[in-house]
Amino acid sequence: MRGYVAGCMLGLSFLLSAAPVVPEPAPLTLEQAYQLARTGSEVVKLKELSLQKTRLAVGEAGSRALPHVDLQASASYLTNPPQGYTVSAGSLGSFTPEIPAGALGPTQPKPIPLGTFTIPPEDFTVGSQLHNYFTLSASLSQPIFTWGKIRNAMDLAGLEVDNAATQLVAQQRDIEREVHRAYYSAVLARDSEVILARVEDTASQILSDRQASFDQGTINRQDVLEARADLAAIEAKRVEAGQGRQTALESLGILTGLDPSTIVLSSGYRTESPRLDEEAIQSAARAASTDLATVHTRMGQARKRLDIEKGGSILLPDLSLGVRLDVSGQEDLGYDNNWSWDWENNTWNVDVVISLGVKIGIFDGLASLRRIQEAQKDVEMAGVGAAQTEKMVRLDARRAIDAAIRADAAVKEKQAAADLAEERLRNARLSFDTGAASRDDVHGADILAGTAELDLQLALFTREEALADLARLTAQQP
C-alpha cells in the first residue's frame, strides 16, 4: 500500500514538472502598452527601413558629382591565327657592290668585288598574327558643370528623407492611437461585462418572480414572456461584451507582442477632462500636422524638379572631363607535346587620352519646354494643396475640440443620471425593508441603475476616444 502511494506521488510530481509553465498575468498600464507597440510594431519597422533607404538614396545622388572610374580587361586566344605571307630571299632583287679601281691607292689597278647581296637576304613573314591578345582599358569621367542638375537631385533626395521621416512619425501616432483604442475597448467591455452580469442576475430574479406569480394566477403569460425577453436581451449584451473584450485584448496583444491571456489592464478612465484652449490647440495642431509637413515637402520637391528640368533644357551645355588609358599587347603562347607552357612576350602599346566633353541639346521637338511647363503646374498644384491642407488642419482641430467638449458634457450628464439611479435604488431598498415598496420595485430600480452605469461607461469611453483624437492632432500623449 505504501509503495502504491509513493508511486502515485512520484507520478504526480513528474506530471507537474512536465506540465507547461503558464505565464503569470501581469498588470499592463497604458504607457507600457505604448512603449511595447513603439518597439515591436512591424508597421513602424517598415517605415524605419523606408527612412533608411531614402538616406542611402541621398548618398547615391551625391555620388554623381564624384569621379567615376571604369576598368575593362580582356584576353583572347586564337587557335589558328592568320599566317600572313612570306617574302622569299632575293625576291626583291640583288646587287653586287665593288670598290672602284684606285679607291684604295695606286696599288689598286682593278675594282674589287664585294660579293652579291640579295633583297631580302632571307625569308620573312608579313601580316602574321600571334595566338594571344591582351587589352586593358581604364577610364575616368568627372562632371565639371551641369547647370545645377546634380545639386538639385541631391536636394530632391534630401526632401524624400524628410517625407519618409514624416511618414514614420505619422505611423507611430497611428500605432499609439490604435493601442489607445484597443486598450480602452477592452476596459469598456470588461467593466460592461461585470455590470451586465449583475443586471442579468437581477433579470433572472424578475423572471423567477414573474413565473411564480403566473403559476399563482396573479399575472398573465405576457408578463412572463416580457421578463424572459428582457433577460435574453441582457444575456446577449453580456455575451457581446465578453466577445468584445477578447477581440480588444487580441488586438492589443498583436500591437504589443504580448499574450492576450496574460494581459491585465491596470489603467482606468481619467477622472476629468483637461482644460481645452482652442487657440493653443489650433497652433499645436498646425505645428504637429504630418499632412501639412508632407504637403510642404511635396511643394519643395516640385520646385526642385522644376529646377532640374530647367537645367536640362536645350542650349545649356554640360561640361565633363575624361581621361582614358588603353593598353594592348600581343603574346604568342606556345606549347609542346608535354603541355608545358612557354611565354614569349611581344609588342605592347600604351595610350593616354585626355578629353574635355561638351554635350548640348540643339532641338528636341519642344519636349524639354513641355517638361518645364508640367513641372511648373506641379508647383502650382502643390501650393493649392498646401492651402487646402492648412484649412483642413484647422477644421480637424475644431472638430476634435467639438467632440471632446461634447463627450465631456455627456460624461457629466451620464454621471448625474447614474448617481440619480443609484440613489433611487438605495431608496427602493430602504422602502422594501420598511414594506413601502415591493420586490419588483427594487428589481426595476436595480435594472435602471445598471443601465445608467452602462451609459456612463460608454460616455467615459467616448471621451477617451475624443481626447485621444485631439492628442494625435497635437502630437501629445493621449
Contacts 24+ apart (CB under 8 A), 361-364: 361/313, 361/314, 361/315, 361/316, 362/314, 362/315, 363/314, 364/314
196 neighbors 238 (Cβ within 8 angstroms)? yes
232 neighbors 201 (Cβ within 8 angstroms)? no
Q: Distance from first CA to last CA of the chain, Å, rounded? A: 66
How far, in Å, CA of 347 to CA of 335, rounded? 20
Cis amide prior to 120 (ω within 30 degrees): yes
Residue type, 384: V
Count of beta carbons in the 10 Å neighbourhood of residue 389: 19
346 neighbors 334 (Cβ within 8 angstroms)? no
How far, in Å, CA of 329 to CA of 76, rounded? 11
Closest to 372 measured CA to CA, from 326, 437, 305, 321: 305
Cell of 433: 425593508
Look at residue 84 in the predicted model and tell me its pLDDT.
Answer: 66
Residues in the chain: 478
In sequence order, what DSSP letters do the residues of 381-438 get, joined into one string? HHHHHHHHHHHHHHHHHHHHHHHHHHHHHHHHHHHHHHHHHHHHHHHHHHHHHHTSS-
Helix runs in 20-148, H state only: 30-40, 42-62
CA 416, distance to chain mean position in Å, is 48
Closest to 357 measured CA to CA, from 397, 398, 328, 317: 317
> Which of 69-83, 212-226, 358-372 shows the lowest mean pLDDT across its residues?
69-83
Q: Is 25 helix (H, G, I), strand (E, B) or coil?
A: coil
Cell of 425: 435604488
Closest to 387 measured CA to CA, from 278, 249, 248, 291: 291
Look at residue 341 in the predicted model and tell me its pLDDT.
Answer: 45
Look at residue 346 in the predicted model and tell me its pLDDT.
Answer: 63
How far, in Å, CA of 267 to CA of 460, rounded? 13
How far, in Å, CA of 214 to CA of 210, rounded? 6
The conformation of residue 65, written as its DSSP 8-state character, comes to: G
How far, in Å, CA of 276 to CA of 202, rounded? 41
CA 102, distance to chain mean position in Å, is 105
How far, in Å, CA of 313 to CA of 371, rounded? 9
Closest to 134 measured CA to CA, from 439, 346, 434, 336: 346
Residue type, 61: A
Say if residue 262's pLDDT is above 90.
Answer: yes
177 neighbors 71 (Cβ within 8 angstroms)? no
Say if residue 433's pLDDT is above 80.
Answer: yes
Look at residue 461 in the predicted model and tell me its pLDDT.
Answer: 97
Say if residue 13's pLDDT is above 60.
Answer: no
Look at residue 93 in the predicted model and tell me its pLDDT.
Answer: 77
Order of strands, sheet of 68-77, starting from the edge strand that comes earlier in the sequence: 68-77, 132-145, 318-335, 341-359
Residue type, 235: E
Taking residues 405-409, report their average pLDDT. 96
Q: What is the pLDDT of residues 86-107, one digit of tens each?
A: 777 777 777 777 777 777 777 7
Helix (H) or strand (E) holding 355, with range, is strand 341-359
Q: What is the pLDDT of residues 49-92, one digit of tens each?
A: 999 999 999 999 889 889 999 999 988 877 777 666 677 777 77
The two counts, helices (H) then strands (E), for the chain are 9, 12
Say if residue 2's pLDDT is above 50.
Answer: no
Taking residues 7-29, report their average pLDDT. 51
How far, in Å, CA of 176 to CA of 33, rounded? 9
Look at residue 228 in the predicted model and tell me its pLDDT.
Answer: 95
Cell of 269: 478612465
Say if residue 14's pLDDT is above 70.
Answer: no
23-69+145-321+366-474 is a CATH 1.20.1600.10 domain: yes
Look at residue 7 in the predicted model and tell me its pLDDT.
Answer: 43
| Average pLDDT of the chain to the nearest whole number | 86
Closest to 273 measured CA to CA, from 9, 462, 28, 457: 462
Which residue reads 584576353 in cell numbers? 75
Cell of 216: 399563482
Q: What share of the chain is helix, strand, coil (3-state, %, to 5)?
A: 60, 15, 20
Cell of 276: 481645452
Cell of 99: 670598290
Say if residue 243's pLDDT is above 60.
Answer: yes
Which residue reads 576598368 in cell numbers? 71
